[in-house]
């Protein structure tokens, strides 16, 4: 067993755990960390980056299992115990997922070839930080207090903004949370909607990389 490689993998896991649920790019920081440590080849790093993110998604599923299950049942039956509009949440998540899936699978090779490098990551981290400051300082009018209140139109807009996260260094959670806040979704609902939306997206990314 390569002890150095094992230590590097642990460090990468810690970086992922810290950055995944913050509005900063976990993928970007993983790429930068891998580059600084000389962690494997580019192809293996790309695979590791996506697979390690599946662990974060399992944590979301565990923590929000009850709401996710109710959203699924609500989508099928229109009823749920603790949601006012469960079918709306399910439909909104589907609508928000479609844009990134289309763009991701259409331009997969180009993204992997030209954008997965430290320079792109560094530039997008700076741009993302500036956008966070801008949106945070804008006056906000709340139109959706809960995740299940997000309309299909708003969900589509969030989904389009999520496509920016295909550029390494652009935070998926940051793009969706900040985008949702900009569109009038409450802070709590923005975070929850972003977490839920990450499940199909990161699973799809793992399939694409593998």
- Number of domain units in the chain: 1
pLDDT tens digits along 108-145: 788 877 787 788 888 888 888 888 888 888 887 899 99
Cα 79 to Cα 99: distance, rounded to the nearest angstrom? 27
Mean pLDDT of all residues in 2-27:
83
Mean pLDDT of all residues in 168-184:
89
**Model pLDDT, residue 70:** 79
E strands within 54-120?
A: none
Domain housing 70? 3-209
The answer to whether residue 78 scores a pLDDT higher than 90 is no
Mean pLDDT of all residues in 196-206:
78
- Pick 5 or 160 by higher pLDDT: 160
Residue 203 phi, psi (nearest 5): -65, -40
Cβ-contact 54, 90 below 8 angstroms? no
pLDDT tens digits along 25-37: 787 788 888 888 8
Mean pLDDT of all residues in 94-108:
90
Element (H, E) at 105: helix 86-106
**Model pLDDT, residue 209:** 56
Buried b (16+ CB within 10 A) or exposed e, 128-137: beebbeebee
């Amino acid at each position: 067993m390569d002890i150095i490689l094992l230590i590097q993998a642990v460090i990468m896991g810690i970086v992922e755990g810290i950055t995944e649920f913050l509005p900063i790019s976990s993928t970007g920081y993983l790429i930068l960390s891998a580059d600084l440590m000389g962690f494997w080849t580019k192809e293996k790093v790309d695979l590791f980056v996506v697979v390690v993110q599946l662990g974060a998604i399992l944590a979301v599923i565990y923590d929000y299992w009850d709401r996710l299950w109710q959203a699924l049942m609500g989508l099928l039956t229109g009823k749920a115990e603790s949601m006012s509009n469960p079918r709306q949440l399910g439909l909104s998540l589907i609508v928000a997922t479609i844009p990134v899936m289309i763009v991701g699978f259409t331009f997969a090779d180009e993204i992997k070839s030209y954008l997965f490098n430290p320079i792109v990551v560094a530039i997008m981290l700076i741009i993302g930080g500036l956008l966070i400051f801008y949106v945070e300082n804008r006056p906000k009018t709340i139109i959706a207090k809960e995740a299940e209140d997000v309309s299909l139109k708003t969900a589509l807009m969030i989904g389009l903004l999520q496509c920016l996260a295909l550029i390494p260094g652009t935070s998926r959670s940051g793009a969706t949370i900040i985008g949702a806040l900009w569109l009038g979704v409450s802070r709590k609902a923005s975070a929850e909607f972003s977490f839920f939306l990450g499940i199909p997206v990161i699973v799809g990314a793992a399939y694409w990389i593998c």
